[in-house]
Chain A
């Protein structure tokens, strides 16, 4: 088996990875940039495939010109890293399968880079609610991906709900793909939003404020209500969502009795924030805190020669990802970022803090859960099952409770429900003895047994 040894290997071709690879190349390094998707851009710059070139792609995207400047790089696409093999004295060796997603005849490739930059991004955290597993209930990211990459509207009458500024571009994309957005519901009240968004006004990047104002204008011109302190507490229907119940929330996100309203919809888009996609970093031995990879100011992780950039180091949006990518890419290539580049990164870090202050999840959300609400979608484990499991076994071990309830053990490996399961069990048990285990997965990606066996045979 050939082992490829580039100077720098960058995993993930979203904003952070593209910026890192570009910076490392400009610094003279030989770089391999790979991505699991069929195209570069990540989730942020998801776009129509090259078979369907669009003249107006720019309309759906912020920073599209930045992307077109970065996308000319060589990117190894359809490349899924499934294992990081650790070494004591150098970055891990990465085992990669290249070919159509979830295929069975993919080509194995192995990389032992001199430096590794992980830029694997984030995915959505969606809190469960009764009926959230009905078809027609989507993550906001799904609606965004289908709009950007397929030009498909997820429904005709849609409510967007959850927390965070991401709800706004999703509503805009829905409008542009032909949906009627009935309302955008933000779980946090005006007082929290105002306090966090108006604090330290000089530190709010002007283009950010402008971007958000643009989305709000989009809503205003179409008379779409943006309701604070409100959310969807249940979805109703038999084989698809046809109605939802909304309710007002208190400051802790607990639904206020008597404020429930039924609304007819044919789709719902929900997002409560983002989770760093850190399984590969954990696989490589990088230390994390609250699921985010810990780095120094140059993006270096706790593992020598391994850098991390973008959302896996803490969720802060594309501008921060680009800034972190440049710094980490330069460092991985043996160069130092300039003072201006480091300052650019700091400015954007403050934006990440602001997001958390304004929109971070509050514990009262469990007030809209019922015992028969599904928590783990794969294994169909309910909130009642989790409580009963904790009470029956008296265990305070996350691992043993997951084994006895099967929560988080399905095909998605707890990526969708992991944090929620931990949070609920933490409360039922009075404190877990082994919190934070959810990100530990022996394999960084879904691999077929046959492919594992074939890769094994090739390993000397």
Chain B
């Protein structure tokens, strides 16, 4: 998959958060106040780990299985929802 344009390898069946963390990324979203966030709850409750996947904003990275060729864009502020 591609993260902000950079290729990243993962294993079949891994979540997007799993691929990011296995590649050493701990945080990938920035809050409105400018604070970095990554996985917190890991089970789809807290919504801290949101990413834009293939143009679709606000997908929970810990819940979504990564698919070959996915393009991931990290989010800033309120994400693309505003």
Residues of A within 8 A of B (CB): 36-38, 43, 48-52, 100-104, 123-124, 126, 133-139, 141-146, 149-150, 152, 154, 239-240, 377-378, 380, 410-412, 415-416, 446
Contact = CB atoms under 8 A, between A and B. Distances in A.
Contact of A51 (B11, B31, B36, B63): B11
Given A124-B41, A380-B33, A103 B47 contact: no
Contacts of A43: 43
B13 A143 contact: no
Contact of A49 (B13, B17, B33, B45): B13
A133 B30 CA distance: 12
Given A49-B13, A135-B26, A135-B36, A142 B42 contact: yes
Contacts of A412: 45-47
A102 B63 contact: yes
5 contacts: A123-B43, A138-B39, A139-B46, A154-B21, A415-B45
Contact of B60 (A52, A101, A124): A101
Contacts of B13: 48-52
Given A50-B13, A135-B38, A141 B43 contact: yes
A101 B14 CA distance: 13
B66 to A, nearest CB: 11
Given A102-B64, A138-B39, A142-B43, 14 more contacts: A36-B44, A49-B12, A51-B11, A100-B65, A101-B65, A135-B37, A141-B42, A141-B43, A146-B17, A150-B14, A240-B26, A380-B33, A412-B45, A416-B40
A285 to B, nearest CB: 23
**Which 4 pairs of residues, A with B, have the shortest CB-CB distance?**
A142-B42, A49-B13, A51-B13, A51-B12
Interface in B1-41: 11-15, 17-18, 21-22, 26-27, 31-33, 35-41
A342 B51 CA distance: 46
Contacts of A378: 47
A48 to B, nearest CB: 7
Given A146-B21, A380-B35, A101 B44 contact: yes
Contacts of A134: 36
Given A48-B13, A152-B18, A123 B35 contact: no
B73 interface: no
A217 B11 CA distance: 33
A371 B16 CA distance: 35
A240 to B, nearest CB: 6
A394 to B, nearest CB: 28
A240 B40 CA distance: 12
A365 B48 CA distance: 24
A244 to B, nearest CB: 16
Contacts of B46: 139, 377, 412, 415-416
